[in-house]
A and B are shown apart, each in its own frame.
Chain A
């Protein structure tokens, strides 16, 4: 099993450009999450999806959109990138039956110039 995979691993954008970060999990988990990690701030939840077909805002949703394409895939889209969105983005998945234990992907390092 690959667990949680993310693409791309690195990306550089110019201000105003758009892009989509991809995430997939093969653990048959119902819930998926997108976090951003910034120095000194830990991980902050951007959006999550409790199940296929549902999405909800987290702590820092502004400037992002998400799509739960199917049970395996959960994508994060930046419509018009801003320098404040320079960060490391992590996707995670969990199964409520395991008390929300989260399994993480390797991350995407995004720089917006």
Chain B
């Protein structure tokens, strides 16, 4: 079945440590790929997106993500996490037409 998988439900990291959030998808063609962040009680904000070209994309707030076609992955990374990065992170896939699918999210806790 077609899906977007975020295998880590919850991650805890120390402030200043590096971060990697995993995302895998299972669609035939290379989809359009997105990462969104949701702070508590807020809507979703786009962090970054991949459509084509350079497989390493830069986003807002110091985040980056790398598309790996061979692994069907689009993992989100940040070299040094800040306390304000504590939030829920969603990977999403856009297909042709109006098809758009979200992963179930990864909750990030940042400890001082």
Q: Are A107 and B94 in contact (CB under 8 A)?
A: no
CB-based A-B contact count at 8 angstroms: 58
Minimum C-beta distance from A31 to chain B (A): 6
A92 CA / B105 CA spacing, docked (Å): 18
Indicate if B100 sits at the interface (CB-CB under 8 A). Answer: yes
Minimum C-beta distance from B103 to chain A (A): 6
Contact of B43 among A40, A45, A105 (CB under 8 A): A105
A42 in contact with B42 given A99-B49, A99-B94, A100-B32 (CB within 8 Å): no
Spell out B's residues near A (CB within 8 Å): 9, 32, 34, 36, 42-46, 49, 51, 90, 92, 94-95, 97-100, 102-105
Spell out A's residues near B (CB within 8 Å): 4, 31, 33, 40-45, 48, 50, 56, 90, 92, 94, 96, 99-107
